Chains A and B, each alone.
Chain A
Amino acid sequence: MIEIVVPQLAESLVSATIDKWLKQPGDWVDIYEPICEILTDKVNAELPSTVSGTLMKILVGNGETVPVGTPIAIMEVEGEAADTGTVASGGTANTTSATAHVGAALSTSAGTAISDADAPMRGRFSPAVQQLATEHNLRLSEVPGTGLGGRITRKDVLAFVASGAAGKSSGASQATQVSSASMDPKAQVRSSGIHLSESPRLPKIEVEGSNAPSRGETFIDVTPIRSTIARNMRQSVSEIPHAWTMIEVDVTNLVLLRNKLKDEFMKREGVNLTYLAFLLKAVVNAIKDFPIMNSVWAVDKIIVKRDINISLAVGTEDSVMTPVIKNADHKNVAGLAKEIEELARKTREGKLTLSDMHGGTFTVNNTGSFGSILSYPIINYPQAAILTFESIVKRPVVINDMIAVRSMANLCLSLDHRILDGVICGRFLQRVKENLESFTTDSKLY
């Protein structure tokens, strides 16, 4: 098997686009016979085959752009067995073992010291190591070495100092073996949050090596989902210039409406009629009036999405997911209520599929469900804005110079200030407010 790669067609070119394949898998190709047409900034050309043989597989399709040197097709050369492939994989295997070696070396940084016999570099100290040892009054014989041939590296010393072992080493060196398992494994990591129906699952706790007794600290493995959340949040706050605004809404009539309908709705539909469904309806209708809220920043342009797909932030005990209600503008309040229930159930049961998560264009977070009255949400990257629906609370409100007890709720909006400004967001929130306040006890769900 031979790989055909994108050649360097002209100096300073770094990529090329496959315009059209002239041969298909299974076709016989003579040497120098064109197999495809390629486009570049400088030239358009037919790409000749470098061998005679059968085209086995096309790796890069029509219209795709790839860097110079990328394999684009696999050819089987006449009368050749497939054993030449192993040459390439040998190199890869080498790299992998080296990788594993590094990983091992670094992960033992707090591990055991290597004995002098198989550590010829154990007793050779770099100037940096000697200086640090003097500074911290260390006996280097107690410091584990992870460098080449068991050498103690500068980082080993720093890790040793940071682990707190340094203080002890000047006195009783044996004391380093103390109670590394002294922490309480039943200690809860999180106890707040009224939405928590059960106590959180115990985190998997890893205890540092015996050389580093840690006091008052526990380590929690970062789960893949936690890691994804961290990455997305970081990307959002570092790329998107956030701005924030809030509005308060009088939902007294909405409360009356829901109280009137909820039992009947439960009987008929089998799902809860939540305030969130009404809010979503109000938000979706406002987005229809201000489509710029439904957009994405693309550096030289702003992409306004035609479909209104609402990402719904759904919290679980240890993470938050944002499943998507597709084409939310096609649904009425009842349909939204059913969809919310369905997505919340799937999230809790961990049954969300990839397609449930994709395509969101605007995010709504029902922060009121865990008692918040004010929050500063981070935009669900790469969307333009995120809106939170805070707790509904009864408050004295002045209406026509009279004080009344009304059900009030705050709506908070974080916005991408590259796309949106105060005026448009203010208008958008006013529209959401009008929509919510225009529900009356006569409003229809269907």
Chain B
Amino acid sequence: MAVIEYIDAIRLAMKEEMERDEDVFVLGEDVGLKGGVFTTTKGLMEQFGEMRALDTPLAESAIAGVAIGAAMYGMKPIAEMQYSDFMFPATNQIISEAAKIRYRSNNDWSCPLVIRAPIGGGIFGGLYHSQCPESVFFGTPGLKIVAPYRAYDAKGLLKAAVRDPDPVLFFEHKKCYKLVTGEVPDTDYIVPIGEANVLREGDDITVISYSLPLHFIEQAAAELEGEGISTHILDLRTIQPLDKEAVLEAVRKTGKVLIVHEDNKTGGVGAEVSAIISEELLFELDAPIMRLCGPDVPAMPINPPGEKFFMLNKDKVKEAMRNLALY
């Protein structure tokens, strides 16, 4: 098994799916000739031609709208939003059209669409290249949302998303592209949507997260082990639908839970996870449910100290984990 970068795993998934199924195609800004601004779609136009690696105008509502139409006609589009920040002009298409087509047509029509969007900060992108839009789409029935952290999951979940009969939002963290590497089989496999994954077994505290923060959590857990704190880490992988059973099982292990995400705290995924735990597991809790999230400020600052303040990092995560362990 080769060790490859997260971004390569995403590219490999698209390549393999396009080879497997002629109906799969990618569309988005600069995905063809340039191969994507992050090089995510590099080589796809050369291999599959410009009709299957389609450069679009700078109009996200059109990208989503075209993709929805194609999907309803039986194609399997992978629409790329260059940055998830630019996704909001397409919100109406995604929430009011894609998510509702199967329901509204009484199961006559479906919309097998994937929308890929790079989320998150940490790359000095400032206000409009750093947002985490999960909470905007989270809680919209009819949408599935995945946010992989490991390279293995990035490939497996993207392939599962392409084969899913309903719309899937694929949130890839742009800071993970080259930061996260891992063993990825070059064979055909999928990671099922809706299944969380235990990254580390432990019995002092449980940390639940998804996407980039898991990188810091894993580092912090390794360091805290030296202090005698044993950490149980759950990677949600899919944030809608949430893997409720896995969440409850992970919390039962320790009775102390910390939920971490980069999206801001109020109304985030962590609020829902916390609510599920308190609904089901009151009598097994040994500490208040804790959350560590991005601050409730409008956007990522453009200046480096501001970004550093905004972003999670190993030290912030480690301190929160230690506080929970000491409780």
Report if A131-B177 is in contact (Cβ < 8 Å); known contacts: A11-B123, A126-B255, A154-B254: no
A98 to B323, CA, bound (A): 10
Cross-chain pairs A/B with CB under 8 angstroms, 8 sampled = A11-B125, A98-B322, A102-B229, A126-B285, A128-B255, A128-B284, A154-B255, A154-B256
Q: Which residues of A contact B (CB under 8 A)?
A: 8, 11-14, 41, 98-99, 101-103, 105-107, 126-131, 147-148, 151, 153-155, 299-300
Looking at the complex, which one of A12, A128, A300 makes contact with B177 (CB distance below 8 Å)? A12
Cβ of B103 under 8 Å from chain A: no
Bound Cα distance from A155 to B232, whole angstroms: 14
1/0 contact trace for B267-296 toward A, CB 8 Å? 000000000000000111111000000000
| Residues of chain B lying within 8 A (CB to CB) of residue A98 | 322
Closest A residue, CB atoms, query B176? A12
B34 CB, min distance to chain A CBs, angstroms: 14
B283 contacts A128, CB within 8 Å? yes
* CA gap between A105 and B204 in the complex, in Å: 13
Q: Which secondary structure characterizes the binding site on chain A?
A: helix
A contact residues around B123 at 8 Å (CB): 8, 11-12
Nearest CB on A from B203, distance (A): 7
User: Which chain B residues lie closer than 8 Å to A103 at the CB level?
Assistant: 227-228
Interface centre among B123, B228, B286 (most CB of A within 10 A): B286
Q: Once the chains bind, are B286 and A129 in contact (CB under 8 Å)? A: yes
Q: Is there contact, CB below 8 Å, between A131 and B283?
A: yes
The reply on B3 being an interface residue by CB < 8 A is: yes
Q: How many A-B residue pairs have CB under 8 A?
A: 70
Query: A155 CA to B123 CA in the complex, in Å?
Result: 40
Bound-complex Cα distance A13 to B177 (A): 9
Question: Is A126 a contact of B124 with CB atoms below 8 Å?
Answer: no
**A126 touches which of B2, B178, B286, B325 (Cβ 8 Å):** B286
Q: Is B38 an interface residue (CB 8 A)?
A: yes
How far, in angstroms, from A135 to B158 measured CA to CA in the complex?
45
Chain B nearest CB, measured from A335 CB (Å): 42
A148 touches B327 (CB 8 A): yes
Interface flags for B167-202 (1: CB within 8 Å of A; 0: not) read 000000011011100000000000000000000000
Task: Determine the chain A residues whose CB is within 8 A of the CB of B129 once the complex forms.
Answer: 11
In the bound complex, do residue B174 and residue A106 qualify as a contact, i.e. CB atoms below 8 Å apart?
Answer: no
Q: Which residues of A contact B322 (CB under 8 A)?
A: 98, 102
Q: Is B297 an interface residue (CB 8 A)?
A: no
Bound complex: CA A131 to CA B283 (Å): 7
Shortest beta-carbon distance, A263 to chain B, in Å? Answer: 56
B203 touches A155 (CB 8 A): yes
Partner of A128, one of B175, B203, B204, B286: B286
Bound-state CA distance A340–B123 (Å) is 57
Using a CB–CB cutoff of 8 Å, the interface residues on chain B facing chain A are 1-3, 38, 123-125, 129, 174-175, 177-179, 203-204, 227-229, 254-256, 282-287, 322, 325-327
* A12 with B204, Cβ < 8 A, contacts A102-B322, A128-B285 known: no
- Quick check: B174 and A127 within 8 Å, CB to CB? no
- Which B residues touch A131, using CB under 8 A? 283-284
Do A127 and B283 form a contact, CB below 8 Å, given A8-B124, A12-B174, A102-B228?
yes
CB < 8 Å: which of A41, A105, A127 contacts B282? A127
Contact of B327 among A13, A41, A101, A151 (CB under 8 A): A151
* B residues in contact with A129, CB < 8 Å: 286
Chain A residues closer than 8 Å to B175, beta-carbon distance: 12
Complexed CA–CA distance, A129 and B229 (Å): 19
Complex Cα–Cα for A14 and B286 (A): 38
Q: Separation in Å of the A360 CB from the closest CB of chain B?
A: 25
Alpha-carbon gap, A148 to B286, bound state (A) = 12
Contacts of B1 in A (CB 8 A): 299
> A11–B3 Cα gap in the complex (Å)?
22
Q: How far is the CB of A123 from chain B (nearest CB, A)?
A: 16
Task: Give chain B residues whose Cβ lies under 8 Å from the Cβ of A102.
Answer: 227-229, 322, 325-326
Residue of A nearest to B38 (CB): A12
Complex Cα spacing A41 to B286, Å = 47
Query: What residues on A are CB-neighbors of B3 within 8 Å?
Result: 299
Check A155 against B204 for contact (C-beta < 8 Å).
Answer: yes
In the complex, A113→B112 CA distance in Å?
60
The answer for the CA separation of A103 and B326 in the assembled complex, in Å, is: 10
Q: Contact between A300 and B2 (Cβ–Cβ < 8 Å)?
A: yes
Would A153 and B286 be within 8 Å (CB), given that A8-B124, A105-B326 are in contact?
yes
Bound: A395/B326 CA distance, A: 65
B202 → A minimal CB distance (Å)? 11
Q: Give bound CA distance, A274 to B287, whole Å.
A: 65
Q: State the CA gap A101–B323 with chains docked (Å).
A: 11
Sample of 19 further A-B pairs with CB below 8 A, known A11-B129, A154-B256:
A11-B124, A12-B38, A12-B123, A14-B179, A98-B322, A99-B227, A102-B227, A102-B326, A106-B229, A126-B255, A128-B283, A131-B283, A147-B326, A153-B327, A154-B255, A155-B203, A155-B204, A155-B286, A299-B3
